Amino acid sequence: MKMTGNIILITGAGSGIGRALAERLHDRGNRVIVAGRRRELLDEVISTREGMAALELDVSDAGSIAAAVADIETRFPELNVLVNNAGISRPEDLTADAWDSDLAEAMIATNVTGVLRLTAALLPSLKRQSNAAVITTTSGLAYVPLASYPTYSATKAFLHSWLQSLRHQLRDTDVEILELSPPYVQTELGGPQQLTDPYAMPLAEFADEVMTLLESGNTPAGEILVDRVMGYRGAEREGRYVETFAHGNAG
């Protein structure tokens, strides 16, 4: 991926991984549009950064996507990079009589349908740009599920599969399809305690390693994989799946 001079839309960029990547990409001379639902977070991100723009967007809402895409086509017709990063993660107890599929459907709407809708809406214009790219944030849990997060893990496995097909279908275009699979990282994805969880990778360390991989073009088969996620990424093909699943789901 070209690392400077892009116009980049990042969803879920008011916090966590999206914000950290937005700041680093802005530092490298890219025009960055940060998107999410909470306006106050977006305003804070752009407040000290000239040329950054904020866009209110709810990726689980088709109307919100349509409005945002219309806005982008007017204000940023040369947008050439989409980062599908917004996501939600909730535990589910499938053994509870009270379990119903509402939470699962909400995760699918944001993590899966939101990515498909936004990608579908922007692909026609991305295909007209040179050096276009779509980066989508999946997870190490795409490869080995965390059983207490069944639907969340499955949404990321869906994206991992779908992205391979998208990449293959677009192989003769100028649109690069990249998958970013974070390990467990210090953000508020799973609640405020995750920000300081010593088992989670520090956010700045993660984002810096991602930038190094992108800058060096070290994205084999379109995958952006920091060292910490390799245990999960390689579990199946290295014959460690059963142990990795057992270790990840111990207790």
> Given candidates 37, 49, 228, 240, which one binds ligand NAP under the rule CB under 6 A?
37
CB of 47 to ligand NAP, least distance (A): 16
Residues 137-166 that bind ligand NAP (CB under 6 A): 137, 139
Cα–Cα distance measured from residue 236 to residue 234, given in angstroms and rounded to the nearest whole number: 6
The residue count for binding ligand NAP (CB under 6 A) is 29
CB of 17 to ligand NAP, least distance (A): 4
> Phi/psi of residue 99, each to 5°?
-65, 130
The identity of residue 99, as a single letter, is W
CB of 60 to ligand NAP, least distance (A): 4
From 9-17, 47-55, 93-101, 160-168, give the range in contact with ligand NAP by CB under 6 A: 9-17
Burial class (CB in 10 A: 0-12, 13-18, 19+), 29: exposed
From 8-16, 74-82, 159-167, 211-219, give the range in contact with ligand NAP by CB under 6 A: 8-16
Closer residue to ligand NAP, CB minimum distance, 105 or 188: 188
> Given candidates 6, 30, 80, 85, which one binds ligand NAP under the rule CB under 6 A?
85
Residues 175-194 that bind ligand NAP (CB under 6 A): 182, 184-185, 187-189
Provide the terminal-to-terminal Cα distance of the chain, rounded to the nearest Å.
41
Which one, of 250, 232, 227, lies nearest residue 143 by Cα?
Answer: 232
Cα–Cα distance measured from residue 226 to residue 116, given in angstroms and rounded to the nearest whole number: 25
Structure tokens at 138: 């999946």
Starting from the edge strand earliest in sequence, which strands make up the sheet with 132-137, in order?
A: 53-56, 31-36, 7-11, 81-84, 132-137, 175-180, 223-224
152 is an active site residue = yes
Applying CB under 6 A, does 119 fall inside the site for ligand NAP? no
Closer residue to ligand NAP, CB minimum distance, 15 or 151: 15
From 57-65, 67-75, 90-98, 158-166, give the range in contact with ligand NAP by CB under 6 A: 57-65
Q: Which of 143, 149, 152, 232 is labelled catalytic?
A: 152
Which one, of 18, 1, 2, lies nearest residue 137 by Cα?
Answer: 18
Which one, of 28, 27, 29, 32, lies nearest residue 42 by Cα?
Answer: 32
Which residues are part of the catalytic machinery?
152
Name the site residues for ligand NAP (rule: CB under 6 A): 11-12, 14-18, 36-38, 41, 57-60, 85-89, 110, 137, 139, 182, 184-185, 187-189
